[in-house]
Structure 1
Amino acid sequence: MSELRTKAEHTKAIRELRRVVLVVNTRSRRGRHRYFEALRLMQAEGFRPMRTYAVMDPSRLPEILIEALDLQPDLLVVGGGDGTLSGAVKHVAHRDVALGVLPLGTTNNFARSLGLPLDLAMAIKVFSRGKVADIDLGMAGDQPFANLASFGVSVEVAGTVKPWLKRILGRAAYPLTALSILPRHTPFRAAITVDGRRHELLTHQLNIANGRFHGGWQIARDISIDNRRLVAYQLGSGKRLRLLAETLVRAAGGRWRSLAGGPFVTGTEMLLETDPPMPADVDGEVLLRTPLTIKAIPNGLRVMVPPGFVDT
């Protein structure tokens, strides 16, 4: 962990020195068409990147991020979807560099949680007019995450949804893919232990969120990516029709139904056990299995945010 400047000092350095590196995943939903536009817009805002990277092979993203950070920028601007940004988060966490976000994906959950404009030109203006903030990270086992750890139908959806469908339908591609998987999906039992209290449920889908958005829709109005707490919630119940109904409601209008009529489960640390043991989708990567301890890490990541972002 590097020693951090104050947020005010860091903000001043970005505005005055403009030491920035640009990394864009050109395989993301919009990155292929927006790389040169992003570079032009950054130059119009007075940024002359120390180096730029157009990443055509996402498997090279980790080594490119390491190379970019070796240049010691004050601001690392990363363009792509939530998977790309999650990969960047793992490299930027606990370092004296701010992450600048270009929302070029399908759902852009991370950008939405930060209150960033989804319009590219407006997102880039945040780099010169916004501020540096320290936000929370989630930690699933030894894997940091920005948005969400999920279990159940979504794990199959992540491995099944077609890239061409995402390009055509955007975020609606995910619930539609889930509907095709649901008829053969088996519900599972889960137990979440928080502060010594055990919560048991039967469901097809369970999420534990650090951010405010899932699938491009707001989870709940009072959730924050900077409140030092995680939120666990199920979508539907053990009944397929209940999950089907809630999936359709969210796809149509984004209106939320929480924990099949009950409360959210919130806490700074959660032990999740499932029967049977299940794979975990952690910000789009399926690397872990239950049982799993999931924690909130306060102020684990520096980001560039709009002036009105509430930084605690």
Structure 2
Amino acid sequence: MRSKSQLQEAIRRERRTVLIVNTHSRRGRRLYQVVRDHLAPFQLLGTFPVERPGQLPGALAAAIALGPDLLVAGGGDGTVSEAARHLAFRDVALGVLPLGTTNNFARALAVPPRPAGALGVLTAGKVADVDLGQAGDTIFANHANIGLSAQVGLRVPARLKRHIGKTAYPLTAVVRLAWHRPFRARITSGGTGYEVVTHQLNVVNGRFQAGQPITSDATVDDRLLHVYPLGGRRRRQLLSASLRQALAGHRRATAPPFLATDDLLVETDPELPLDVDGEVHGRTPVRIRLLPNALRVMVGPSFVDT
């Protein structure tokens, strides 16, 4: 593995780059050619427009086989998370183009939401090492959640996402909540056990969840996962907690405290599916752990790389 400065210099000097864009995402189809034109000064080894989610793993494997120093992934959190899985512990930097709905990982990296600003990071930014998480056998960039979000991720209408963006998620959650039952979760970390009864348990890498900040001091390179229930056993508690977070921009200081850890076991009654960066992967019980410095990414000059 090269040092960060050596990889950064190789990107600036040789610009060996591959481009993958989810052209089925909210803005991917419209912006694919714009992004490709902007990358003309780079040495594009290959470009991969991906029309269907099932094509993405094969496209990423083919792109990495070309031997780039920089892999640019355009799409939403699902696309970026899949790219992160493929690039974990590799000597290749990920360039993030946020073209999705919530863009949690891009927000955590302080990548500008507009394509022009995000593309500017590729030319004027720097290489940083950030953390990933792993839930069971599945690596994630942003979150591994249990409860209502697994149902929402499966059922949020694509047309609704296209028209109203990230607001589609809480609206779908309100509809699904009428049938959702609370569950009991036992969390074991560092030899200590915790129990909560809730509709939603979140395990987050970084600061953002559902397009909103959860706290002011979490980062994607703080070597911690942040664990918290969103609301309690009653439906109104989840609704009020979600609404307060959406309006205030972060959770209240009096909200249930975070468990900040790098390794935990989650058991639930009943066993439940896992929402891992918007896709269902596995079920509880599950071990969730931090993978420190697992991914190299392009970030803006102001990003504090610890």
Is 1:20 paired with 2:17?
yes
**Deviation of residue 255 (structure 1)?**
3.6
User: Residue 113 of structure 1 contacts residue 213 of structure 1 at CA under 8 Å; is this kept in 2?
Assistant: yes
> Counterpart of 1:57?
52
1:279 equivalent in alignment to 2:276: no
The whole-number CA distance in structure 1 between the counterparts of 2:179 and 2:51 is: 36
2:36 counterpart (39, 43, 55): 39
Pair 1:192-2:187 in alignment: yes
**What's 2:123 paired with?**
128
Residues 176-255 of structure 1 aligned to structure 2 (within 5 Å): 176-255=171-250
Q: Tell me how far 1:253 sits from its aligned partner.
A: 4.7
Q: Tell me, what secondary structure is at the counterpart of 1:115? A: coil
Question: Secondary structure of 2:222's match?
Answer: coil
* Pick aligned residue for 2:255 from 255, 261, 273: 261
3-state secondary structure, aligned to 1:184: coil
- CA 1:277–1:243 in structure 2 vs 1: closer, same or farther (change >3 Å)? same
Alpha-carbon offset, residue 48 of structure 1: 3.7
Aligned to 2:154: 159
**Are 1:175 and 1:251, in contact at CA under 8 Å, matched by a contact in 2?**
no
User: Are residue 168 (structure 1) and residue 163 (structure 2) matched?
Assistant: yes
Q: Give deviations 1:4-48, integer Å, cap 9, x for gaps.
A: 1000000000011000011100001110100011112222xx224
**Distance (whole Å) between structure 2 residues aligned to residue 279 and residue 297 of structure 1:** 22
Report the Cα distance in structure 1 between the residues aligned to 2:153 and 2:57, rounded to whole angstroms.
20
Determine helix, strand or coil for the equivalent of 1:309.
Answer: coil
Q: What residue ranges of structure 2 are gaps of 5+ in the alignment?
A: none
SS in 1 for 2:217: coil
Task: Report SS of the residue matched to 1:50.
Answer: strand
Cα offset, 1:157, TM superposition: 0.2
SS at match of 1:261: coil
Structure 1 CA distance, aligned partners of 2:137 and 2:29?
A: 32
| CA-based RMSD | 1.2
Deviations 1:254-292 (A, max 9, x none): 34247x732111111011111111111111221211111
Alignment partner, residue 109 of structure 1: 104
Deviation at 1:308, TM superposition (A): 1.5
Separation in structure 2 between the aligned mates of residue 261 and residue 251 of structure 1, nearest angstrom: 14
Query: What is the SS of the residue equivalent to 1:154?
Result: helix
Count of aligned residue pairs for this structure pair: 306
Q: Which residue of 2 aligns with 1:99?
A: 94
Report the CA distance between 1:299 and its aligned residue: 0.6
Runs of 4+ in 1 over 6 A off after TM superposition: none
Q: Is the 8 A contact 2:154 2:279 kept in 1?
A: no
- SS of structure 1 residue aligned to 2:150: helix
Identify the residue that residue 2 of structure 2 maps to in structure 1: 5
Aligned counterpart, 1:306: 300
TM-score relative to the length of structure 2: 0.97
**Taking structure 1 as reference, are residues 253 and 28 closer, same or farther at Cα in structure 2, changes over 3 Å only?**
farther
Determine the C-alpha separation between the residues in 2 that align with 1:244 and 1:22.
40
Determine helix, strand or coil for the equivalent of 1:223: coil
3-state secondary structure, aligned to 1:193: strand
Q: CA deviation at 1:294?
A: 0.6
1:18–1:47 Cα contact (<8 Å) kept: yes
Deviation at 1:197, TM superposition (A): 1.2
Distance 1:188 1:257 in 2: 23
Q: Structure 1 11/136 Cα, relative in aligned 2: closer, same or farther at 3 Å?
A: same
Q: Structure 1 unaligned runs (5+)?
A: none
**Mapped contact 1:79–1:85 kept (Cα < 8 A):** yes
1:251 is displaced (CA, Å) by 3.8
SS state at 1:185 partner? coil
Q: Is the 8 A contact 2:132 2:293 kept in 1?
A: yes
For 1:197, the aligned partner's letter is T
Measured after TM superposition, the shift of residue 252 of structure 1 is: 4.0
Identity %: 52
Residue 170 of structure 1 and its aligned partner are, at CA, apart by: 0.5
